[in-house]
Chains A and B, each alone.
Chain A
Amino acid sequence: MKLVDIIKISYTNLLRQKVRTLLTIFSIVIGATLISLVYSIIPGFRNFFDLQFQILSSPKLIEIYASKERPAASIMDSFGSAPQEYKEGESSGLYDLMLTNFKEEDIKKIENIKGVVKYHDCPIPNVEYIGLEDSDKKFKSNMIFYYPSFMLSNIKLVSGRSLNDSDKGKVLIAYDFIKAFGYQNGEELIGKKIILHIKQNLNKDTAGLTIMPTLDETQEVVSKDFEFEIAGITEKTILSSIIFVSLVDAVDMVKFSRNTEEVLTDKDNQRFFGFVEIDDAKNAEYIMDEIKNMGFSGQTYEQSKNILGMIFDILTIIFSSFGILAMAVSSLGIVNTLIMAVYERTREIGVMKALGANRFTIIKLFTVEAGLIGTIAGLLGLIIGFGISELLNYIGHKTIFSSFETLDISNITFLILLAPIISIVVSILAGIYPALKASKLNPVDALKYE
């Protein structure tokens, strides 16, 4: 029998019990919709975060830590694993991070590794609030960063110019400040004075971001406004309140807040983190190994990117598992529907056999019928899934992620075919048992069946 005729007969058979067929299809549609949603929304977010990551990081960058193990790495590794044996000399515990700091000698050694262009310190000033000249508005910020100029060059600007490493007194501010300060476009803000207010707190400093500060109410609060000229405004990124400052200014601010001149010296007890700029992304792995051999830890761009990718992979697996599980449960509906059909059509199967249909033809008729259920359900799931993601995308862009034009959670790729494919495969598998049952019918018994 020709495939086209098999499909035609199977389709006609499906239409005999329309309600039953529709209910069976509907149950599969739920799983297919979920899978379509997963493969539309998650890659959408993934692409967006990948893009943001590319903007805010660089393949020519390795983040390094003075500790033997990356902070949080040991915590992450310990999840789900049995207590690990302690070995003498190995780092352990949270405070290890605070106790290990880069010395000038270490930095020289790191800079001497082949392929390393420069070591960049990463002082993080602890700013109380951000203000603008002639404005009463004040904003919170914990994102005052120094970015080496090679990294800043990744970030597109909507107004003004980027910063050089030695650009003292100038800042680059996030796009969102335009609206926040009540302006229409970035150009109006260029050249204006921005104030970073810093409170001096001997008990709370950069490291205070990671440890609980000890508040001493009797201590006299000394604070200072650091004034900067806005040199440029970045494009919209996920870091919506970021302000980039030059290294000199960052160090000045940290010195003030900690009330010490030891910042970035051998006596600095907070120099535990830095960036290594490398000549070529290809050398990242080798350089990372060399740095590790010196007793430090770190993470390359690729590794960070992989972690991000892994998070999305896990999310995809979890959510598509729900979809596949839903589909697997629904496939029992197909088995049921087709077994019913075998009983209803027993006599017909007998006639088909008498007219010359062999066992394989009968198997094909029933598996194609199951496949048709899967195809219709898969395509419907795909349409509904993308309809929902399109709707979520629309609503999202009108509300919570209105400024992120690059975030498209209705992301259509070749993965759109996954829902119909899985749906067809699951349905065909579900059709095998009824098909075999039908094919095994004895034609004489089948013809006598009432």
Chain B
Amino acid sequence: MINIKNACKIYKMGNQNVVALNCVSLKIKDGEFVAIVGPSGSGKSTLLHMIGGLDTLDKGEIIVNGSKLKNVCDKDLAKYRNSMIGFIFQSFNLQAKLTALENVELPLVIRGINKKDRRILALKSLKEVELGDRINHKPSELSGGQQQRVCIARALVNSPEIILADEPTGNLDSISGENIINLLKQLNKKIKTTVIVVTHDDRIAKMANRIIRILDGKIIKDVQNGNHIIKKYTD
């Protein structure tokens, strides 16, 4: 369970203060598939980063499974990101020199898992995203959709409780995007992982259990999904 209370974040851009999050309060239950939508600069990615422990709030707090993320030291926050969170990025952020398998192994390397065990876990994760036959390919040898699958496998490899995806289909063609969406939904159902996706893609929003619309750092709508309202909430 993720409980966000009064989350505020202000960024300085030159001499100006930009309010990224303006007293956002929100609860996300375990196993939910949440789509966060809103225009660019609305604060949706900031919210995702805060939940993921990549940045800290100026005010308010985020409680994940009963643990507050505020005032946590760098080491514990890193541990939290490693074991609780799986990140999926729009531009995949795979290491170009590493193979698919080595990329997926990376969170396990950081965790200090031995070579043999991390190979087994990474292979399992790659098979889960149907890339068992591409393990020795480098990112440049894979299609965009396949690269995003590697990214998903990397996010899953530590069996995180929450998957945070920032525009996961943003760099993909429609068919690859569709496949990724299906995969995320499938994983959400199968593994019961909480999935929070920041998106502009209405197909993702369509599949989400819940759609949260953010504007100027505030939640302006928070609705359970129904196909008839999708258009309203995606851009």
A residues bordering B, Cβ < 8 Å?
A: 1-2, 5, 9, 12, 16, 347-348, 350-361, 442-444, 447
Contact = CB atoms under 8 A, between A and B. Distances in A.
A2 B87 contact: no
B54 A361 contact: no
Contact of A1 (B81, B97, B109, B154): B109
Contacts of A347: 93
A355 B81 contact: yes
Interface residues of B, number: 26
B93 A447 contact: yes
B82 A356 contact: yes
A52 to B, nearest CB: 57
B74 A358 contact: yes
A355 B87 contact: yes
Given A353-B81, A357-B78, A359-B74, A447 B89 contact: yes
Interface of B: 49, 52, 54-55, 74-75, 77-79, 81-83, 87, 89, 93, 95, 97, 106-107, 109-112, 114, 154, 158
A442 B74 CA distance: 11
Nearest to B81: A356
Contact of B78 (A2, A9, A12, A353): A353
Contacts of B106: 352, 355
13 contacts: A5-B112, A12-B97, A350-B93, A351-B89, A352-B110, A353-B81, A355-B82, A355-B87, A356-B82, A358-B74, A443-B55, A444-B54, A447-B89
Given A348-B95, A444-B55, A447-B93, A356 B79 contact: yes
B93 A1 contact: no
Contacts of A2: 109, 112, 114
Contacts of A16: 97
Nearest to A445: B55
Contacts of A350: 93
A261 B158 CA distance: 103
B118 to A, nearest CB: 10
A439 to B, nearest CB: 9
B112 A356 contact: no
Contacts of B82: 355-356
B114 to A, nearest CB: 8
**Leading 3 A-B pairs by shortest Cβ distance:** A356-B82, A358-B78, A351-B93
Contacts of B158: 356
Contacts of B110: 1, 352, 355-357, 361
A354 B75 contact: no
Interface of A is mostly: helix
- Chain B CB count within 10 A is highest, among A16, A348, A354, A443, for A354
Contacts of A442: 55
B18 to A, nearest CB: 14
B75 A360 contact: yes
A9 B97 CA distance: 11
Contacts of B89: 351, 447
Contact of B54 (A1, A12, A358, A443): A443
A212 B114 CA distance: 82
A360 B75 CA distance: 8
A359 B110 CA distance: 12
Contact of A354 (B81, B95, B109, B114): B81
A20 to B, nearest CB: 16
A14 to B, nearest CB: 12
Nearest to A348: B95
A355 B112 contact: no
B75 A358 contact: yes
Given A356-B111, A358-B79, 10 more contacts: A1-B111, A348-B93, A348-B95, A355-B107, A356-B82, A358-B74, A358-B78, A361-B78, A444-B54, A444-B55
Contacts of A443: 49, 54-55
A319 B218 CA distance: 68
A438 B57 CA distance: 22
A5 B93 contact: no
A315 B111 CA distance: 50
B49 A444 contact: yes
B202 to A, nearest CB: 25
A9 B106 CA distance: 10
Nearest to B48: A444
Contacts of B112: 1-2, 5
A354 B97 contact: no
Nearest to B50: A444
Nearest to A4: B115
Contacts of B75: 358-360
Nearest to A8: B109
A132 B107 CA distance: 87
- Chain A CB count within 10 A is highest, among B78, B81, B97, B111, for B78
A442 B9 CA distance: 15
Nearest to A355: B107
A442 B154 CA distance: 21
Contacts of B95: 348, 351
Contacts of A353: 54, 78, 81
Nearest to B105: A5
Contacts of B77: 358
Nearest to A347: B93
A356 B83 contact: yes
Nearest to B92: A351
Contacts of B107: 355-356
Contacts of A447: 54, 89, 93
Nearest to B93: A351
A347 B75 CA distance: 20
A111 to B, nearest CB: 77
